[in-house]
Structure 1
């Protein structure tokens, strides 16, 4: 396979950070017991992660190509590997906050570099879309893995124990493996460089790109999607424990269904998009997601009314609705990689790094907003009300995707006109 080594490296990098980033929901659940803190206090872990992503992506995006994609990924992996090996020796919420700030900062470098590198190793929009979905599917596999790795280190007899911190020995080892593989993977970055570009010019280019209509609408869609996904993903373990009355281990493991359905949804999308248009598929998925929310929340209320106060400790006793609601991941899955691929493949390769930075920046802001909003609604109005909130970004996304498609068609038509000699 052409460029197989660097492709494998990109997949493994994303796999590592999928485990680390999406452990936030699990850690939010665990720190409430281990450090005796409230939901609103635990909710700040998401901003530590996401605002670090936003800050680093904003600062670095204009000269990521000057640093080099490969070098940036090596720096990120080295930082995370070091902190993971330190974590088991630490105590206190401050170190958890520092960990997620480091993970977020490092992921900003990884994501910009991965997205930029995909543009270098693909030759067409179809190939770009295929690799993007495959990379995001691999990310989903990492998310699923995180829900099974963490419970292995939980002390079931003492939920307040901090023994679960030993999981970071394993995660540090995986990160180190990813670093060594990347070191051995060649990547030709010459096509990503533009001559005579200063940092000031790159910043100006970033802001010019930001205020083009199609990018503005794309950013709204990316922001809303991540707000929606993270509001569910970060709080599903806590929802499982407090609303459905599952124990800690089951609460975490059942949340893996969401991650698994996201990974499977992205794999299926790669097949379906060969048959039908991406807009029709995304709208269908969003309508299905809204229907699932409207079905699941009343069903959960019925379960609560019938079995209130019954603590569930065995998988055989888990109610069917706990398996059904996380399937929302399957219908949400296609949105993010598809819109990312469409906007990136419509730009020149030297702009992919800058666009990736904007994607990361606004995705991070969306994720942070989603977790904070959901955490506060959960604390004051309950878990069901918090998940009903997901209907708001779903409606906005439907409208945003319709507008995004119209602008994409308009831009494509304009580019064809210029290529035929009709423009200057």
Structure 2
């Protein structure tokens, strides 16, 4: 298979960073339980992750081709390796903050590298969308791994859960070794320009209407996704009255539905136009919120510790991932395919930057309004960004259709 080594590297590193990056939902719950942190303070964990992503991605989008994609990926893995070791031995809320800061820095580099490299290892728009969907599927599998494996370390030892980070450090070491010995036969045209000039060139991309509409889409999509993903374990624990271990494990349904949705998208994208898949997913997600979420108001106040005790809403609401899943890879691929390959790295930097800001805002809003509105009502707020996404989809479809 053409560029097999590079594709394996992309899958592997995305798996690792998915597991770490999206453990924020677990650590929001753990910080409240173990470190006795208030919800509002726990919500700002997302800020440590996303602010570092935003700052680094703004610069790295134009600089990474000069540094080298492979070198950047190896640096990212080294950062999170030491972050995991620091988490195990530090065992404090500050250790959690530092872990997310270095994970954010590493992910900013990795996401730009992955999104840029996809354009060099695929042929045509459909092939690009297909690989993008499959890579995002692997991303969700990484999250599932974290939500399934981490609760296995919960036991009578209050620090037992930290051993999960030793496991992650070992996996990162394996990923580092495999990528180190993989061949990257990609030649990227280099420009002899300064970082300031590179950033100006990246900002000039906004002169293209499709780029700023795309930025609006990415901001509000990630706001919706991260708000739900980060606070679902807390929703399960406090609103649906599950014990801590089961609350985290049940969040796997959300991650699995995302993975299945993106895998199906990868299979359908050559047969159905992207806009129809995206509209079906978005409207399906909105209907699910309106139909299923009211069930959370009628859950009896008794702690559930096994599957047989769980209310129907705990199985149905996480299925929102099945509907939201196609949006991010489809729209990202559509816009990347409509731009020159030499601009893909800079465009990936823009995407990562606005996604980070949207993720932080979504998590902070849900976290700070969770107690005020109640867990049974707070996720209705997701309908607001969904409405904005709907408008953005129609505009993107019109612009991209004209350019085609």
Does the alignment pair 1:49 with 2:60? no
Q: Determine if contact 2:59/2:199 at 8 Å carries over to the other structure.
A: no
Larger radius of gyration between Structure 1 and Structure 2: 1
Shift of 1:363: 0.4
Shift of 1:122: 1.3
Shift of 1:277: 1.0
Secondary structure of 2:251's match? helix
Shift of 1:289: 0.6
Alignment match, 1:379: 371
Q: Determine if contact 1:377/1:385 at 8 Å carries over to the other structure.
A: no
Alignment match, 2:389: 397
Alignment match, 1:73: 73
Q: Determine if contact 1:262/1:332 at 8 Å carries over to the other structure.
A: yes
Secondary structure of 1:313's match? coil
| Mapping 1:17-416, distance limit 5 Å | 17-155=17-155, 157=156, 161-190=158-187, 192-302=188-298, 304=299, 307-308=300-301, 310-412=302-404
Q: Matched residues in 2 for 1:197 and 1:188: separation?
A: 23
Q: Matched residues in 1 for 2:91 and 2:192: separation?
A: 49
Q: Determine if contact 2:5/2:184 at 8 Å carries over to the other structure.
A: no
Secondary structure of 1:240's match? helix
- CA deviations 1:174-220 (Å, max 9, x no partner) are 11111111111111231x22444443332121011023211000000
Shift of 1:84: 1.2
Shift of 1:383: 1.1
| TM-score, normalised relative to structure 1 | 0.93
Alignment match, 1:420: none
For structure 2, list consecutive stretches of 5 or more residues without a partner in the other structure. none
Q: Matched residues in 2 for 1:129 and 1:197: separation?
A: 31
- CA deviations 1:84-129 (Å, max 9, x no partner) are 1232111321111000000011000111111111111112111111
For structure 1, list consecutive stretches of 5 or more residues without a partner in the other structure. 413-424
- CA deviations 1:40-95 (Å, max 9, x no partner) are 01101111101110011012222111111111001000111122123211132111
Shift of 1:152: 1.1
**Alignment RMSD (CA, Å):** 1.2
Q: Determine if contact 2:223/2:360 at 8 Å carries over to the other structure.
A: yes
Shift of 1:370: 0.3
Q: Matched residues in 1 for 2:254 and 2:107: separation?
A: 22
Q: Determine if contact 1:40/1:376 at 8 Å carries over to the other structure.
A: yes
Q: Matched residues in 1 for 2:219 and 2:71: separation?
A: 28
Aligned positions, number: 404
| TM-score, normalised relative to structure 2 | 0.98
Q: Determine if contact 1:68/1:189 at 8 Å carries over to the other structure.
A: no
- CA deviations 1:227-276 (Å, max 9, x no partner) are 00000000000000000000011100100100000000001111222222
Q: Matched residues in 1 for 2:266 and 2:215: separation?
A: 23
Q: Determine if contact 1:224/1:366 at 8 Å carries over to the other structure.
A: yes
Does the alignment pair 1:6 with 2:3? no
Q: Matched residues in 2 for 1:195 and 1:34: separation?
A: 50
